[in-house]
Amino acid sequence: MTLATIDPIHRARRTNGFDVERVREDFPILARKVHGKPLVYLDSAASAQKPRAVIDAMSRFYEEDYANIHRGVHFLSQRATDAFEAARAKVARFLNAAKADEIIFTRNATESINLVAQSWGRKNLGPGDEIVLTELEHHANIVPWQMLRAEKGFEIKVAPIDDTGQIRLDAMAKLIGPRTRLVAVSHMSNALGTILPVREIVRMAHANDALVLIDGCQAAVHKQIDVQALDADFYAFSAHKLYGPTGIGVLYGKYALLDAMPPYQGGGDMIDRVTFARTTFKEPPHRFEAGTPAITEAIGLAAAIDYLAELGPSLVADHEDDVLAYATEKLTAIDGLTIHGTAAEKGAILSFTIAGAHAHDVATILDQQGVAVRAGHHCAHPLMDRLGVTATARASFALYSTRAEADALADAIGTVKRIFKL
């Protein structure tokens, strides 16, 4: 086929260097069938599928270089330690951190946020202090603070969103004041797709001497993150949403802050010297990594970062924007369907409800047709309360998603409507 004979959209995709059909071949699972139908995987915001490059890097590491790290002088232990620390340096470059020592490996974003609460928060928050969250936070950025509040007696303020699902900066500005010690916000809502103006929020917080923790669990997948340009104090994400393995997450923290923070878990690998009278601790990041870490998973995360870099993050972002815009148009045309989250700044997430059909029933019928979406509260009860719904169905798109899959979603919603006679 010549360029002249293929349709303009396909041609655009080929000429801009992103060929989604070729990219899909990198993900073995996408070739499988579900209930006898081709898999249409629209649940990447919950966890993304893995490219062969990640799967192979982890297998190769187990087959050739595996041993525990930071402990042995033997050959394999040194190889494994080098690979683990190289992964840390790669994550630092991925976030544009000033140095690798600002990267702490955790189990996931949830643990990263708990680390900040239990280490920085436990040391720095008390009666009379305030922290500011937003109405669209994931439970991972609410519950750790409530647990600490119960012990420490500080106050939690909540910045509201507008009807499009965007944060109301004017209202947030009024909540941030001299008592504010921390502003903890999602960079991109997992339930609405809203991308928050985090640079502006950091400016507002820093003007009041408050720190900012950014929950980048969704944003790190779709946007190029530069923690120095954002001037973020802490930034958290999980590898499994970024085409990497489960079991490993990242906490970025400015080194001076990390250096002043106490450890929050004790054990092997985080100590300098132990006696029964007294223990001294290592420097960051090791002070915060007690016990054997997720070694092979760090190798997998590094492979995922390389994979994304090879595809070209801006081509990926353009492709995802295209699929989101196309799917939004398709779903907007469906009678009785409401899209939740219509902010101008929005990532590849489409949350919706259908009048007369519960979101769980919608997801079950879609699944029968091979279309995987998430239904429920998306770990965002307060946001569901604000929207006045108990649950939504959520389609989320990734670099391997296609317009044809958006068509399949719309067709499957048609079946839902026929079954419910809507």
Footprint on this chain of ligand C6P (rule: CB under 6 A): 45-46, 108-110, 138, 140, 186, 190, 215, 217-218, 238, 374, 378-379
Residue with nearest beta carbon to ligand C6P: 190
* Minimum CB distance to ligand C6P, residue 74 (Å): 34
Residue 285, preceding peptide bond in cis (omega within 30° of 0) = yes
Q: Which residues pair with 275 in a beta bridge?
A: none
The DSSP result for 332-376, as a single string, is HTSTTEEEE---SSB-SEEEEEETTB-HHHHHHHHHHTTEE-EEE
Nearer to ligand C6P, 222 or 417 (CB): 222
Q: CB count, 10 Å around CB of 291?
A: 10
* Minimum CB distance to ligand C6P, residue 142 (Å): 10
Any idea which residues carry the catalytic annotation?
A: 379
Residues 6+ apart with CB under 8 A from 377: 384, 390, 391
Q: CB count, 10 Å around CB of 21?
A: 12
Q: Contact, 216 vs 250, CB < 8 A?
A: no
Nearer to ligand C6P, 45 or 213 (CB): 45
Q: Contact, 126 vs 152, CB < 8 A?
A: yes
Nearer to ligand C6P, 80 or 134 (CB): 134
Nearer to ligand C6P, 88 or 394 (CB): 394
* Minimum CB distance to ligand C6P, residue 414 (Å): 25
Q: Which residues pair with 68 in a beta bridge?
A: none
Q: Is residue 19 exposed (0-12), middle (13-18) or buried (19+ Cβ within 10 Å)?
A: middle
Nearer to ligand C6P, 237 or 307 (CB): 237
Q: Contact, 384 vs 377, CB < 8 A?
A: yes
Nearer to ligand C6P, 80 or 212 (CB): 212
Q: Contact, 95 vs 252, CB < 8 A?
A: yes
Q: If residue 149 lies in a helix (H) or strand (E), which one and from where to where?
A: helix 143-152
* Minimum CB distance to ligand C6P, residue 277 (Å): 37
Q: Is 409 helix (H, G, I), strand (E, B) or coil?
A: helix
Q: Contact, 45 vs 374, CB < 8 A?
A: yes
- Joined tokens for residue 46: 């919950």
* Minimum CB distance to ligand C6P, residue 320 (Å): 16
The Cα–Cα gap between 299 and 60 comes to 10
* Minimum CB distance to ligand C6P, residue 181 (Å): 21
